[in-house]
Amino acid sequence: MSTVTTGTPYLEVEDLKVHFKTEDGIVKAVDGVSFSVERGKTLGIVGESGSGKSVTSLTLLGLHNMRATTVTGRASVGGTDVVAAPHSTVQKMRGKDMAMIFQDPLTALHPYYSIGRQIVEAYRIHHKVSKEVALKRAVEMLDRVGIPEPQRRVKQYPHEFSGGMRQRAMIAMALVNDPDLIIADEPTTALDVTVQAQILDLLGDLQKEFNSAIIMITHDLGVITQIADDVLVMYGGRAVEKGTVEQVLRKPHHPYTWGLLNSVPSLHGDASEDLKPIPGNPPSLLNVPSGCAFHPRCAHAMLGGDGPCAKIRPELEVVQGLKNHTVACHLSEAVRATISDEVIEKVDA
């Protein structure tokens, strides 16, 4: 299906910027983000609301709000730059080269059409086959994603499915054309934990089978540990830390990553102690703080005198000795390494 050979990334994003013009000023939803994903690999993008993680993924499919929006940079999907490509080209790639799974499968499926009809439609956009053939394929896909009695359920409507089954149907629809890139935007956030576990397992299995590249967008670090190979931590529209899951979650080098790891309540450790929240609120993308966007909430910010944190925007730099691990922080590497060990010690307690 794709001409890209294994080893070269299927998706390559370089310096992607997405800026919206609003009445209140320019919203820099994504402000210079670069990453890549190979086939068969999963990249987790972590961030809070307003970090730019969802806009990044919508932009790849050209599904962002087109009005008053400027997109710059490069985003190569299987060799085609979807930022520069005409609308019609991107539209034809949707569903076939890149597919998307959304957060809430109840609102993301059309309420008035049967599950089968929606999958058949998705298949026939890219395959010139009869409705009967497409329906057979839909039943196969429902079966593949673990929906019992697919022959019967294919005729049912979304409201007749439970939350978990709806998300499975959504996944079946996304995978019906065997896409090379799957973008999953918080696919388990609306689901119960036991169902979340099922869906994450399913995505992992399907990835092995279809050898697709997956982008998993989430706010939940736990989900990342279960499914991702690489992680990109976003804050205020920019990447602040990037690396393998092992690197970012076991040797984190950015104060925001530390903050996330510290503030998440866990099932282990001392529960009688107060949690260590990150103070303040995520920044407004209309008015991102100067220098490092995280400096107003950072316990380690160097602000007085020659302190660079509020003045100079840190760029991603390689963390020495750790291949592919990059971080955007002014703290010295030695300082970061010490704090990182302390943070991880607490997480493991």
Task: Compute how many residues bind other proteins; rule: CB under 8 A.
Answer: 83
Residue 254 — φ and ψ, nearest 5°? -110, 135
Q: Does 200 bind other proteins (CB under 8 A)?
A: yes
Is 112 near other proteins (CB under 8 A)?
yes
Report the residue from 44, 52, 116, 259 that binds other proteins according to the rule CB under 8 A.
Answer: 259
Decide if 53 contacts 285 (C-beta within 8 A): no
At 148, the amino acid letter reads P
Identified binder of other proteins from the candidate list 85, 195, 302, 310, rule CB under 8 A: 195
Please, which residue, 10 or 161, has the CB nearer to other proteins? 161
> Of 234, 261, 288, 301, which one interacts with other proteins (CB under 8 A)?
261
Q: Which of positions 45-64 make contact with other proteins (CB under 8 A)?
A: 48-49, 61, 63
Nearer to other proteins, 216 or 327 (CB): 216
Q: At what angle do helices 131-144 and 115-126 cross, to 10 degrees?
A: 110
Supply the minimum distance, in Å, between the C-beta of residue 333 and other proteins: 23
Give the residue carrying structure tokens 């990109």. 232
Question: For residue 280, what are the contacts with CB-CB under 8 A and spacing of at least 6?
Answer: 296, 297
- Alpha carbon distance 158, 174 (integer Å): 15
Given candidates 249, 288, 309, 319, which one binds other proteins under the rule CB under 8 A?
A: 249
Nearest to other proteins of 6, 49 (CB atom): 49
Single out the residue of 201, 209, 315, 317 in contact with other proteins (rule: CB under 8 A): 201
Over the window 11 to 50, marking each residue x when it contacts other proteins by CB under 8 A and - when it does not, the resulting string is -------------------------------------xx-
Sign of the Cα torsion 107, 113, 116, 121 reads: negative
The residue within the footprint of other proteins, chosen from 24, 194, 304, 334 (CB under 8 A), is 194
- For the bound state, the minimum distance from the C-beta of residue 274 to other proteins, rounded and expressed in Å, comes to 5
Site for other proteins in 73-102 (CB under 8 A): 91-96, 99-100, 102
Alpha-carbon separation of residue 348 from 54, 61, 342, 343 (angstroms): 30, 39, 10, 9
Among positions 34, 69, 80, 198, the unique one binding other proteins when judged by CB under 8 A: 198
121 binds other proteins, rule: CB under 8 A: yes
Q: Phi and psi for 81 in degrees, rounded to 5?
A: -80, 105
Q: Any idea how long the chain is?
A: 349
Q: 132 to 171, contacts with other proteins by CB under 8 A?
A: 157, 159-160, 162-165, 170
* Residue with Cβ nearer other proteins (125 or 310): 125
Could you tell me the strand order of the sheet in which 230-235 lies?
Answer: 98-101, 181-185, 213-218, 42-46, 230-235, 238-244, 326-327, 317-318
- Does 178 contact other proteins by CB under 8 A? no
276 to 295, contacts with other proteins by CB under 8 A? 276-279, 281-282
Distance set, CA 320 to CA 35, 44, 57, 190 (Å): 19, 22, 30, 39
Of 255, 168, 259, 178, give the one whose Cα is nearest residue 221: 259
How many Cβ atoms are within 10 Å of 222's Cβ, its own excluded? 15
| Residue range at the interface with other proteins (CB under 8 A); choices 6-14, 37-45, 218-226, 328-336 | 218-226
Instruction: Please state at what angle helix 163-175 crosses helix 193-210, rounded to 10 degrees.
Output: 20
